[in-house]
Homo-oligomer: A and B are copies of this chain.
Amino acid sequence: MDRKHLPRRQSIKPSRALTIRDVAKAAGVSVSTVSKALNGNGQLREETRTAVRSVAERLRFRPNEMARSLPGPRTFTVGLISIDRKGRFSIPVLDGVEDALGVAGISVFLCNTANNPERERQHVHSMLAKRVDGIIVTGGRAVARPPLDLEGEDIPVVYAFARVDDPDSLCLLPDDRGAGAGVARHLVGLGRRRFAHVTGPADAEAVRDRREGFEAMLAEHGIALARERVLTGSWSEAWGHAAVERLLAPGAPLDAIFCGSDQIARGVVDALRDRGVRVPDDVAIVGFDNWEPFAEASRPPLTTIDMNLHELGRNAGMCLFARARDPAVRALADHALPDQRTKAGVLRLPCSLVIRESCGAVRAE
Task: Give chain A's interface residues, CB within 8 Å of chain B.
Answer: 1-4, 6, 39-41, 62-64, 67, 75, 80, 85, 88, 90-91, 94-95, 98-99, 102, 105, 107-112, 114, 116, 118-119, 122-123, 126, 128-131, 133, 151, 153, 236-238, 263, 266-267, 293-294, 297, 325-326
Question: Of B41, B90, B119, which contacts A102 at CB under 8 A?
Answer: B119
**Extra contacts besides A63-B119, A88-B91, A90-B91 (20): CB < 8 Å:** A1-B131, A3-B153, A6-B128, A6-B129, A39-B119, A62-B118, A64-B118, A64-B122, A85-B94, A99-B112, A102-B112, A105-B126, A107-B126, A108-B109, A109-B110, A236-B297, A237-B293, A237-B297, A263-B293, A267-B297
Count of this chain's copies in the oligomeric assembly: 2
Beta-carbon contact of A40 and B114 below 8 Å: yes
- Cβ-neighbour of A4 out of B4, B95, B107, B153 (below 8 A): B153
Could you tell me the distance between the alpha carbons of A109 and B126 in the complex, rounded to whole angstroms?
Answer: 13
CA separation between A76 and B2, bound complex, in Å? 13
Name the distance in Å between A271's Cβ and chain B's nearest Cβ.
Answer: 11
Note all chain B residues with C-beta closer than 8 A to A75.
1
Q: For A129, list chain B residues within 8 Å (CB).
A: 6
The residues of B that contact A237 with a CB separation of less than 8 Å are: 293, 297
Expressed in whole angstroms, the Cα–Cα distance for A109 and B122 within the complex equals 16
Q: Which residues of the partner chain B approach A123 to less than 8 Å between Cβ atoms? A: 102
Known interface pairs A129-B6, A236-B297, A326-B1; A98-B110 also in contact (CB < 8 Å) = yes
**Are B95 and A91 in contact, CB atoms less than 8 angstroms apart?**
no
Smallest beta-carbon distance A73→chain B, Å: 11
